[in-house]
Structure 1
Amino acid sequence: MKRVIEKTVNLDLDGVNGNTFFIMGAFKRQAKREGWTQDEINEVLKEAKSRDYNHVLSTIKNHCEIKECDL
């Protein structure tokens, strides 16, 4: 699947509640933390909601990438 925009957020969805609203909310909160514009967030969410549950999940996962952080 092609990314809607060429950006990802540092978010691990493994083990996350499978509710679509929870998934989209987690993505939205993290994208805001990482400085995404509202237009960028809306573009991804619009595409995610354009079809069924599996499309929501695959679209959001496609814009998530677990990044290692130095402690």
Structure 2
Amino acid sequence: MKRVINKAVNLDLVGVNGNAFMIMGVFGRQVRKEGWSQDEIDTVLKEAKSGDYNHLLATIENHCEPKDEEHDH
């Protein structure tokens, strides 16, 4: 799957409650914190919601690139 927009957020979904609304909420908070525009957020979430749960998860995960803080030193 390709990205809907060519951006990624520093977010690791491991350990996030698997509920679709929780995943979208965590994603939404993080992208706002990182300064994404409302249009960018809406584009990703619209695509995420256009299919089933697995599509939602794959779309959001595809826009996440968690930075490994421990190995950046």
Do these two structures clear the TM 0.5 threshold for a shared fold by scoring above it? yes
Percent of pairs with identical residues: 70
Cα separation, 2, equivalents of 1:18 and 1:11: 15
Residue 2 of structure 2 aligns to a residue in which SS? coil
Quick one: which amino acid aligns to residue 9 of structure 2?
V
Cα offset, 1:67, TM superposition: 1.4
The number of aligned residues is: 71
Structure 1 match to 2:38: 38
Q: Return the TM-score normalized by structure 1.
A: 0.94
Q: Return the TM-score normalized by structure 2.
A: 0.92
Structure 1 gap segments, 5+ residues each: none
Quick one: which amino acid aligns to residue 52 of structure 1?
D
Cα separation, 2, equivalents of 1:67 and 1:21: 23
Quick one: which amino acid aligns to residue 62 of structure 1?
N
Structure 2 gap segments, 5+ residues each: none
C-alpha RMSD of the superposition: 1.2
